[in-house]
């Protein structure tokens, strides 16, 4: 395993245990078995380490589906299920950062430099829904921004509840239920027997 991989594994562990706000590069280096100086040969700062932990050590946050492929419902379920799993696993890392305004401001600035942040998934989903609307697979009067915000907001909330309840994963049925709730806003029929 490369030094970079060991650093990311250690960083994920330290950030889950202590939260992003309380994790230090010194702790990460110690957990990886390296010097702090070696961390900076692979990463610019703690925020970049966090970004790569989120990208490479968390359940994949799926990108937008390809417009016109599969069904809109299937694409939304896949995206929602990935988002649910990502949010469930991200909470222990992010909770301490959110509680401290100074750290939150620093994270906002750092993630912005890397084109990342919590608005990104909503924007990507809204762009996908606009493309599907242009293809006629979503109703002409649908509001992609509102639907994207509702679906990602539901995923965020359900991810937190599964973390809070110490559930190891989020079943796909939760994604199906959330998607079923937004399908009518897209002019699509909700499935007859949506999961409870």
For every one of its 196 residues, what pLDDT tens digit does the chain have, with 9 covering 90 and above? 899 999 999 998 888 888 777 889 999 999 999 999 999 999 988 878 887 887 777 666 666 689 999 999 999 999 999 999 988 888 877 776 777 787 778 778 877 776 777 788 899 899 999 999 999 999 999 999 999 999 999 999 999 999 999 888 899 999 999 999 999 999 998 775 544 4
CA distance 58 to 114: 17
pLDDT for the residue numbered 62: 65
pLDDT for the residue numbered 195: 45
| Model confidence, pTM | 0.76
pLDDT for the residue numbered 79: 94
Three state DSSP letters for the chain: CCHHHHHHHHHHHHHHHHCCCCCCHHHHHHHHCCCHHHHHHHCCCHHHHHHHHHHHCCCCCCCCCCCCCCCHHHHHHHHHHHHHHHHHHHHHHHHHHHCCHHHHHHHHHHHHHCCCCCHHHHHHHHHHHHHHHHCCCCCCCCCHHHHHHHHHHHHHHHHHHHHHCCCCCCCHHHHHHHHHHHHHHHCCCCCCCCCC
pLDDT for the residue numbered 80: 95
pLDDT for the residue numbered 89: 83
CATH number of this structure's domain 3-54 = 1.10.10.60
Domain ranges for the chain, please list them. 3-54, 61-186
What CATH superfamily classification does 61-186 receive? Tetracycline Repressor, domain 2 (1.10.357.10)
């Amino acid at each position: 395993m490369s030094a970079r991989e060991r650093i990311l594994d250690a960083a994920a562990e330290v950030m889950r245990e202590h939260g992003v706000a309380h994790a230090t590069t010194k702790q990460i280096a110690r957990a990886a078995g390296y010097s702090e100086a070696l961390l900076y040969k692979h990463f610019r700062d703690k925020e970049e380490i966090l970004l790569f932990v989120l990208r490479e050590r968390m359940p994949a946050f799926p990108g937008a589906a390809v417009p016109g492929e599969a069904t809109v419902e299937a694409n939304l379920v896949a995206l929602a299920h990935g988002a649910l799993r990502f949010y469930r696993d991200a909470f222990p890392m992010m909770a301490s950062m959110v509680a401290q305004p100074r750290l939150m401001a620093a994270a906002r600035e750092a993630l912005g430099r890397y084109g990342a942040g919590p608005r990104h998934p909503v924007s990507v989903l809204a762009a996908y829904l606009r493309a599907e609307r242009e293809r006629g697979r979503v109703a002409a009067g649908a509001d992609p921004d509102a639907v994207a915000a509702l679906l990602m907001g539901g995923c965020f909330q359900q991810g937190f509840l599964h973390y809070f309840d110490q559930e190891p994963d989020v079943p796909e049925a939760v994604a199906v239920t959330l998607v079923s709730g937004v399908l009518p806003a897209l002019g699509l029929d909700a499935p007859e027997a949506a999961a409870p």
